[in-house]
Amino acid sequence: MPKYHNKKLINDTDQYDEILDEKEIEQIIQYSLKFFNKSIKTVPIKTMKHTWVQGDKLYKLAAKYYGNFRLWWVIAIVNKISSEADLKYGQIIRIPLDPTPIVDRI
């Protein structure tokens, strides 16, 4: 998954009082997401085909092909999906042979 920005948003304002009291906590810290650079579309990517089957998960495929389950998002980006819920059994997806060119653009 792409790294989060270092920018923190601390939710300790009045509008969160009821939620914070209910959870018995003082504050909630959120990190803003890092958005993908548009130049990612121009990255030349060599891929292989994979047929989506029962039991497949993006993180499992990332672990299998890249040795790092955290790179599941590379497969998602290439296939223009947000999660496994966007896929159906029997669907052909593309697995980048090397995630480095994509990771380096983020």
pLDDT reported for residue 52: 97
Structure tokens at 33: 């997401």
From first to last of its 106 residues, the chain has per-residue pLDDT tens of: 455 555 667 776 788 888 888 888 888 777 766 666 666 777 788 999 999 999 999 999 999 999 999 999 999 999 999 899 999 999 999 999 999 988 887 7
pLDDT reported for residue 50: 98
Structural domains of the chain, ranges and CATH numbers in brackets: 1-35 (no CATH), 38-105 (3.10.350.10)
Q: Which H/E stretch holds residue 8?
A: strand 8-11
pLDDT reported for residue 1: 47
98, 100, 92, 104: which is closest to 65 by C-alpha?
98
Alpha helices by DSSP H, listed for 24-95, are 58-66, 72-78
